[in-house]
């Protein structure tokens, strides 16, 4: 066995330590730059939006006069859209994930389906808007209604929920399934009483994060023909509607500076909604997560 050349080792370690320090510096720099941009954005939104944020701003309808304009119709329209999107996407997404993970045979066709579901998660949102326009607005005859908008947004976030639910189901140890089968439980009883409750925190976390994406989407609903100016609230699933992102887009496209300030106030409301939804996801993950 040859002797270790200490000088060679020292020289190589010095270069490795220097490379490690340089990489660490780049990572810290990238993090600081991202935080700086985020801080500037939040500061500008708060300084421009807080003076216009009031109860009247929340309860008033849209108006051509900035001092009377509000987000009431857009806020309720957003709630209506989420009320349709959430149950439809959750039921279809979780059901698809359970079938693919627990029932479907592992073959080339299943792999093909999995690859396409993963690819759909990265498709631009306007493509789903065109799909919703063709299927729900024209073929189904739903028009530019809340139901058509909610179903289109469900298509948008469905791949994300399927992938997140599959990952959550895979984290459940196989030994628990086998123990359930050993006790005489059927396949469905094992899924309903063992697998699904254990995977539920991860499923709900993925679902809420997907819904957070849907709240901020504009392009699919614009393609469907959602209104930019609405002075009424939706009364049922077949009513016309607008949502917060479309209202904000309408205000920012106007030349008057007052409408830009109103848009900043609307962004604050939208950020609060997103923070609440993400906080619920974190709470669910930390509160109900089970370790096996």
Average pLDDT, integer, range 169-181: 87
Q: How many Å apart are CA 240 and CA 219, to the nearest integer?
A: 17
User: Are residue 166 and residue 63 in the same domain, yes or no?
Assistant: yes
Q: What CATH number did the domain enclosing 195 receive?
A: 1.10.3720.10
Q: Which of 21, 36, 52 is the last residue of a domain?
A: 52
Domain that holds residue 263: 58-288
User: Are residue 103 and residue 145 in the same domain, yes or no?
Assistant: yes
Count of domains observed in the chain: 2
Residue 146 neighbours by CB under 8 Å, 6+ apart:
77, 80, 81, 84, 234, 236, 237, 238, 239, 240, 241
Instruction: For 154-166, write each residue's pLDDT tens digit.
Output: 999 999 999 999 9
User: Are residue 66 and residue 48 in the same domain, yes or no?
Assistant: no
User: Are residue 36 and residue 77 in the same domain, yes or no?
Assistant: no
User: Are residue 79 and residue 147 in the same domain, yes or no?
Assistant: yes
Instruction: For 100-115, write each residue's pLDDT tens digit.
Output: 998 888 888 888 988 8
Q: Is residue 1 part of a domain?
A: no
Kindly tell me if the per-residue pLDDT of 291 is higher than 80: no
């Amino acid at each position: 066995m040859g002797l270790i050349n200490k000088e060679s080792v020292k020289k190589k370690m010095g270069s490795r330590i220097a490379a490690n320090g340089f990489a660490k510096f780049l990572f810290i720099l990238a993090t600081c730059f991202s935080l700086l941009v985020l801080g500037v954005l939040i500061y500008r939104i708060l300084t421009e939006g807080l003076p216009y944020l009031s109860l009247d701003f929340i309860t008033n309808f849209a108006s051509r006069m900035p001092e009377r304009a509000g987000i009431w119709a857009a806020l309720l329209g957003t709630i209506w859209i989420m009320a349709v999107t959430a149950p439809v996407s959750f039921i279809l997404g979780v059901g698809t994930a359970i079938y693919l993970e627990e029932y479907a045979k592992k073959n080339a066709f299943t792999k093909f389906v999995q690859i396409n579901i993963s690819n759909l998660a990265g498709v631009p949102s306007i493509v789903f808007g065109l799909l919703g326009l063709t299927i729900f607005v024209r073929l189904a005859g739903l028009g530019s209604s809340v139901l058509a908008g909610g179903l289109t947004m469900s298509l948008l976030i469905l791949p994300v929920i399927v992938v997140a639910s599959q990952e959550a189901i895979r984290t459940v140890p196989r030994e628990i399934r086998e123990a359930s089968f050993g006790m005489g439980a059927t396949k469905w009883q094992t899924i309903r009483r063992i697998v699904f409750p254990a995977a539920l925190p991860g499923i709900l976390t993925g679902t809420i994060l997907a819904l957070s994406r849907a709240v901020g989407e504009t392009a699919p609903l614009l393609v469907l023909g959602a209104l930019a100016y609405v002075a009424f609230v939706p009364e049922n699933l077949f009513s016309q509607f607008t949502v917060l992102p479309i209202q904000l887009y309408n205000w920012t496209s106007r030349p008057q500076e007052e409408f830009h300030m109103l848009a900043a106030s609307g962004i604050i409301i939208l950020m609060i909604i997103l923070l609440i939804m993400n906080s619920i996801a974190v709470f669910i993950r930390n509160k109900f997560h089970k370790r096996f």
